[in-house]
Every structure is written in structure tokens, then in C-alpha cells.
Structure 1
């Protein structure tokens, strides 16, 4: 698939990558739209990429806040329909923030209206490419992959990065997730993939090495679920700090104590210590890893690829 047919707008950790695909009719579609506080930036980047062409569809691989936060603005600006996986279609239609995870994670997402379901097992004809929609549970139960077999291009979202995969959210609530991650990795391994476009980080072609690293990481988490819980806690705090940039320690501790996913993590895995002690331990591990700085009572985000 040529550069003119597909463009990857590589973002960071707060906003997912945006993938722009020629629709074959003079317009283009975008896969995933970043975080809500970056929506204006996402719009500007898309306009620069589109060069006056219309945006004809907005597609989401899943509905985590870093992948669909620009939906509302882009749908309004371009009058483009929004296609999402079916598992959370009704929750998005009525905007149930509990079911959509935004409230429990302390994250934001501007309300948007879904228009069509992106059904696993279906295909999308975009330009000269036929994209297969494949179920990819694990990181998120309702996530999908998009695979174009003629060129071996896989849009993997957070199911596979060059060095791992996203938090396995079902496991944090005691539900099955690791087995689903394994099944999704096996699915990817069964496909003739030549290029992977992940949700975060650059595109890559060494799929074998990436799968090996993902399987090693998965086995480590299976062997020690507390390790996964600790990773999740640090990743979620880091995400928050990327968004706010800096916060007084007392305010950050209050935010953590009032955010459902953090209190659940503490209660399920770390309740042998007081929650404030656990919070300080998480922050200290992030500081030691260079992901934040603590200057007096002020916590600041620091440049780090991931927690």
C-alpha cells in the first residue's frame, strides 16, 4: 500500500496514532482520533494530511479515551459518520460513561454519536484495499484489528506494539484477559503481515520479534499478576500526568483516591498497605524510572517513552 494511499500521523501516549486511508472516491477515512484535549491538534493534522479532500468516515478500533477523543470535533467539522465496534455501541449511543470507562479511569472524552457498527468478520473496501475487521479481545474486550491482505498491512491498535501491548483491563477486575491476549497474538501470527501500524509508536515490519516480545511480556504477567497490576497503576498515573503536566502532590493523591480504577487496583492487589503509602510507592517507581519529577510538593510529568 503506497504512501499516497495510507498516511500514519504518529502521535504519542496521550493520543493514539491517526491512520488516514484513501477511500478511492476522492476522500479519506481516519482510524482512531486521539485524546479529547488534543482534538484541535488532531483536526489541524488531518486537514494538513487531507489537503482539501473530504473526510468520509471516522473509524475506531476501540473506545478507550486516547483513541476516540477527537470523534466529536471531527464528526462535526467534516459531517462524517462514526463507525465503532458493536460491543459498546449502545453505551456510546446513550453515553453511559460508566460502561465506557471514562469515569472509572478519571479520563475525559467528548460525547459523540456512533452511526454504524464495525462488525468483526466484515470487510471495508477503501480505495484499492479490502480491509478485514477482526475481533481482538484482551486489552479491551471489544477491540478490533484492521487487516489489508494484499499488502499485509495490519492496524493493530493496542493489541500489539513493537515492544508489548496495552494494559489488559479485564484482568484488573478479575475477569479473563490474558487468555484473550494470547488468542489475539496467535491470530496476528497466523496472518501474512508485512507491516504493523500500532496504536502508539512507529510502524514496524519485524512482526516475529514483536510477537516474541509480546508473548514474553504476557507470560511474565501471567506468572505474576501483581506485576501487571503495578504496571497498570503506573501507566494510568503517567497518562494522567501527560494530560495535566503538573499537579500538587496532595491534589494528585486526592485524584487517585477518588478515581475508581485506582482504588480497585489498591483493594484487589495492594490493600496490605494504606492507600496513601501505595500511591507514594507508585509515584516513587515512576520517579525512579524517569517518568516524573517531584520538586517539593509539585509532581511534574517528565519525558519517558512509557512507564
Structure 2
């Protein structure tokens, strides 16, 4: 993988986003910090890479819990600066967990602070390289990407993976998201990119093929928004199980009622009286063919590691 030596990628999984460590003589920076349950692991990875050197800066591409859940522990370990998307600054300052989506998705995040904000057009010098901040709405209206033109590297967060992109959450709340995701993909297609470091999965170089898959998926979702709602429910159910490892059917039903994003997605698919059947159907699909879940009597269990 053709990445400059000043860039180190910690590939995590689906519960925690990837972490990108960029180090030069002036600054040691980490882009995204994973989920709260994995915060000690994130800290260990960074400490192992830096040795005696402190972490100077955290940069968050967006504030979904799997991208900023390690912020608090890293801030408690080092007096590092933290840069977040400017549109999220008020919500973080007031720790508004509704606006920050943690309550709405049934997830958690330890409270953290920030020292500065970033927005599209913000220049960065990280890892001895110049980076440009690009807007990446779609998956999240406030999401950002980092692009280094000299090295042709894009840190794409959840705007583009090798096989797809993140759930288009705004559409679940009646806001536009598909058009924005399409526009972000078009922006990426216009960049001179050799290597993409995604929010999940290994860095990759076949950018054209990834874009082809992503454009096809956007068109498929736009043709029937219920597909996005069903995918969102599956993703949020699996995410919760990866975190807590097992739940009862009744506990999942309560989460469907209480977590606003899940509630909205379910409402797009079935009337409330049909939600138990809908949930059973989703769980069966997720358990089929060695899928991510296992049904063990009354228990639903995550298969494998987070």
C-alpha cells in the first residue's frame, strides 16, 4: 500500500472506525478515535506507535460514536488539542446527546471537549504533508474528508469504502441525503486519488471500481428509500450486539422503540403493530449463512469479535 512513512493506519473493524496516525517533527495527530468500548485499545495502539512522545492533536472527520469514542480517554492521557467539524461545536459544548445522535442510535460516547473547529477549505499540515478539508455530507450532514494532493491520498471516513459507504442517516429523518452522497462521490471522482484510507476496512487503490460500486448503490437506495431504512436497522442492531455481545429479543424491541433513529427507520418499513415480526425477520436474515448474529433460544448473540 503506497502511503507515506509519516502515515500509519490502525485498521479496526465495524465497532471502531479506523484511526490514522500522522507524525512529523512538529505534531503527532490522530484522525478519528474509535468507539468508547475500544478506547483503551485505541490508547494502547497510539502509545505503542508514539513511545514516549505525546499525542498533540485529535482530528474528527465527524462525530458518530464509532469515530470519536476514544476522544475522552486520549484527552485525559495527554493535553492534546482536538479539532471537530464546526457545525457540531455547539452540540459538543452543550453535550447535547440528542443532536449528537448517541441517544437516537442506542449508542454511547464519553463526554469530550474541543479546542478548535474545522470546515471545508481548512488547511492542515499533518505528517509533514499539506491536507485540504473537504465536505462530505450524505452519511452525516457534517462529515468531512482530508485530501493530500501531493501524495494523492484521501482519508474518506464513511463517504466511500472499498465496498459502499455509511448509512444515509439524514433520509431516515425526512431530510435529504441521497443527493448529497451522490455529490460527494462525484467530488471524489474529480480528485486525483491514488490511495483511499476509508473509515472502515483496509486502505485501497482501486478507486474507480469503488466509485462504480458506490454510484450503483446510491442509485439502488434512491429507487426505494425503504432499502436504506432496512439497512440502517440491520447496521444499528449489529453494532449494538458487537458492543454488548448479547441481548434478548425483548431488549432489542425496547431499543427499537426508544432509539429515535431506529424508531424512524422501522416506521418507514412497517406499522408499529408489525415491528415484532419485522425485528424477527431482520434477526433471521442477519443470522443466516453464518451472518454476524447467532440466535440461541431467547438470546441474540454477536458472532466473532468486534
Interval of TM-score (by shorter of Structure 1 and Structure 2): over 0.9
The alignment of Structure 1 onto Structure 2 pairs a total of residues equal to 304
8 Å contact kept, 2:106–2:259: yes
Paired position in structure 2 for 1:153 = 153
Number of the residue aligned with 2:254: 254
Compared with structure 1, are the counterparts of its residues 127 and 263 closer, same or farther at alpha carbon in structure 2 (3 Å cutoff)?
A: closer
8 Å contact kept, 1:36–1:108: yes
**What SS does structure 2 have at the residue aligned with 1:132?**
strand
Tell which has more relative contact order, 1 or 2 (C-alpha 8 A, sep 6+): 2
Report the CA distance between 1:3 and its aligned residue.
Answer: 4.8
Runs (5+) with no aligned partner, structure 1:
none
Mapped contact 2:132–2:148 kept (Cα < 8 A): yes
Q: TM-score, normalised by structure 2?
A: 0.96
Distance 1:76 1:272, change over 3 A: closer
4+ aligned runs moved over 3 Å, structure 1: none
1:263 aligns with 2:263: yes
**1:228 offset after TM fit, Å?**
1.3
Identify which range, 51-60 or 282-291, moves more after superposition: 282-291
Q: How far apart, in 1, do the equivalents of 2:191 and 2:261 lie?
A: 35
Q: Which residue of 2 aligns with 1:279?
A: 279
> Match of 1:120, SS?
coil
Corresponding residue for 2:43? 43
Structure 2 contact 196–205 (Cα < 8 Å) conserved: yes
Q: Report the Cα distance in structure 1 between the residues aligned to 2:112 and 2:205, rounded to whole angstroms.
A: 34
Deviates more, 1:124-133 or 1:247-256: 247-256
Contact persistence 2:4–2:151 (CA under 8 A): no
Matches within 5 A, 1:110-121: 110-121=110-121
Deviation at 1:76, TM superposition (A): 1.6
**Aligned equivalents of 1:227 and 1:288: distance in 2?**
19
Q: 1:280 and 1:40, CA in 2 relative to 1: closer, same or farther beyond 3 A?
A: same
- Provide the C-alpha distance between the structure 1 equivalents of 2:225 and 2:3, rounded to a whole number of angstroms: 42
Please give the residue correspondences for 1:1-307 in structure 2 after superposition, counting only pairs within 5 Å: 3-25=4-26, 27-271=27-271, 274-289=274-289, 290-303=291-304
CA contact (8 A) 1:24 1:126 kept: no
Q: 1:2 to 1:249 in 2, by over 3 A?
A: closer
Query: Conserved in 1, the CA contact under 8 Å of 2:30 and 2:58?
Result: yes
**Separation of aligned partners in 1, 2:251 and 2:180:** 36
**C-alpha separation in 1, matches of 2:139 and 2:305:** 22
What's the TM-score once normalised by structure 1's chain length?
0.95
Kindly report the root-mean-square deviation, in angstroms, between the aligned alpha carbons of the 2 structures: 1.5
Cα deviation, 1:258-287, whole Å, max 9, x if unaligned, reads 222222112233227522111112111111
Structure 2 segments unaligned to the other structure (5+ residues): none
**Do the aligned residues in 1 keep the contact of 2:134 with 2:144 (CA within 8 Å)?**
yes
